[in-house]
Chain A
């Protein structure tokens, strides 16, 4: 696969979560997915860095129900001339249970 020549992909998604004022919000935005795996979007609501948002793909000709996937907001930009704020997203991974974390720590020692 020629990664350098791959173009950015754009997807129409629904993003939901809690803004910096802790109010629940839902927006429909364009998600940009870079060839190197980076994902970003421009939103109206001001979000906090490190907060969790949920992305659901909106597919115009979808026959299957889509489910929300959790992402961390890694970067929050400033509001641009359109009134939108650029955010960078990274998929959230579940924290392992404490028993597993302890086991890993013991093995590392």
Chain B
């Protein structure tokens, strides 16, 4: 075999391709190591399958060149164990008893190639060089993906799906105007990030942005936090303090989980939105504030209004402009981007070199329902990054419940099937009427349609049932 290398890039690819030769006899192993070493490959040899598997486990070889006929451990068993430790390792099996059937069988079981003894080094070099090129290309793709990720950020929010692009567009349009905004979306979908983006793009970006989580504090303390208090106004009020609205005057106040506030608190917030007025707890003095309010909730505020738990006048004040943040199931195409982002984040945070997820781990991530949305996805990557000892996160690094395959909701197993739109409408209206105990006025409000429209629909449906039964 020629030791002259033609292309500088081939030299580099060969040096970066770490190969381990495994065989039962020392001389043939050393012969192979020597020949490939002269050709410029980074190569080691061993006669111990245990040592070979350990090297695969720690990621110190990308290619395993293994003899099938080994007394200690058969080459196919070594193949299976090596792939278990590192699904990305490329195993090339070498055998005296070569046949097309055995080669196909080896490939089906996960081997990269199956070659005969004595080794044709020209052919082997060709295979190894192709592998080297593939790894180099993948590395370039990862770098390009990192660059692309930075282009797909919108003020810290990541997404390229149509749902997210629509949301970015709406956020950009609304941000320019000093107006109250309501952000809705499921828990863990990133509502606070949207609020921050709104502030950053607003005319008051240089002013303060203050966050208050309304579900985090009891009502009495919340009032003090938001509006301030005077000394002695309640037990523990040792001094006079300004509240959040005064603190962020001329800026933005973000009220997260606004649906969790009491009706009494809501009436005070209404006063801020209507009259731009506040009063510190225990003080008769009315102060004027100029604050942009952004509110967020995971609840359906209209339903909360109907249930009597949220003031309708406050709802109309804060809900005039609504931005809806989609849940992860509405934008599954963003999952790989988010995974990439969090792998980098926790790779840096934990001081580890993590390149990404193995292919089978990626599949698991795409199949999961993500009830906890982006927060849950971040926690999964953080947890996996903590525990993994390799530079790729594999299935075994993921939380236990993700390691078990689960059917997605909407699959045949849970009774879903595609129905005509009219049938879906009929079933939904029926369910809402049942929920409202037959009260059509209430049902029309829940459905968001006029009372007359509902009466007309029900009349038409009853007429259709009558004509169907007369035909039958």
Contact = CB atoms under 8 A, between A and B. Distances in A.
Interface of A: 12, 14, 16-18, 22-24, 26, 28, 52, 54, 58-63, 65, 68, 70, 92-99, 101-102
Nearest to A56: B375
17 contacts: A12-B216, A14-B216, A17-B379, A24-B379, A26-B372, A28-B213, A54-B379, A54-B382, A61-B211, A63-B211, A70-B382, A95-B387, A97-B391, A98-B59, A98-B389, A99-B59, A101-B389
Contact of B353 (A14, A95, A97, A102): A97
A95 B215 CA distance: 35
B383 interface: yes
B210 interface: yes
A93 B225 CA distance: 35
The 3 closest A-B pairs by CB, nearest first: A22-B401, A94-B350, A24-B372
Instruction: Select the residue from A12, A24, A26, A70 with max chain B CB neighbours within 10 A.
Output: A24
B126 to A, nearest CB: 31
Instruction: Select the residue from A61, A62, A99 with max chain B CB neighbours within 10 A.
Output: A61
Interface residues of B, number: 43
Contact of B385 (A17, A65, A94): A94
Contacts of A22: 399-401
B188 interface: yes
A96 B389 contact: yes
A70 B216 contact: no
B311 interface: no
Given A26-B187, A68-B379, A94-B351, A60 B212 contact: yes
Interface in B263-279: none
Contacts of B379: 16-17, 24, 54, 68
B389 A16 contact: no
B216 A16 contact: no
B244 A95 contact: no
Given A61-B247, A97-B389, A18 B216 contact: no
Contacts, number: 92
A97 B390 contact: yes
A97 B351 CA distance: 10
B57 interface: yes
B244 A61 contact: yes
A94 B391 contact: no
Nearest to B375: A16
Contacts of B237: none
B58 A102 contact: yes
Contacts of A18: 399, 401
B60 interface: yes
Given A28-B216, A65-B193, 19 more contacts: A16-B372, A16-B379, A22-B399, A22-B400, A24-B372, A28-B213, A52-B383, A54-B379, A60-B212, A61-B212, A62-B211, A63-B208, A65-B192, A70-B386, A92-B386, A93-B386, A95-B388, A97-B389, A97-B391
Contacts of A63: 208-211
Contacts of B385: 94
B217 interface: yes
Given A61-B247, A99-B58, A99-B60, A70 B390 contact: no
B160 interface: no
B350 A61 contact: no
A70 B383 contact: yes
A7 to B, nearest CB: 15
A68 B382 contact: yes
Contacts of A101: 389
Instruction: Select the residue from B375, B385, B390 with max chain A CB neighbours within 10 A.
Output: B375
A84 B42 CA distance: 58
Interface in B357-411: 371-372, 375-376, 378-379, 382-383, 385-391, 399-401
Contact of B58 (A17, A58, A98): A98
A23 B187 CA distance: 14
B391 A61 contact: no
Contacts of A12: 216-217
B379 to A, nearest CB: 5
Contact of A60 (B193, B244, B388): B244
Contact of A24 (B216, B376, B389): B376
Nearest to A24: B372
A96 B389 CA distance: 6
A97 B426 CA distance: 58
B299 interface: no
Contacts of B217: 12, 60
B352 interface: yes
Nearest to B397: A95
A62 B216 contact: no
B229 interface: no
Contacts of B350: 94
Contacts of B386: 52, 70, 92-95
Contacts of A62: 210-211
Interface in B21-72: 57-60
Nearest to B404: A22
Contacts of B193: 65
Nearest to A92: B386
Nearest to B224: A60
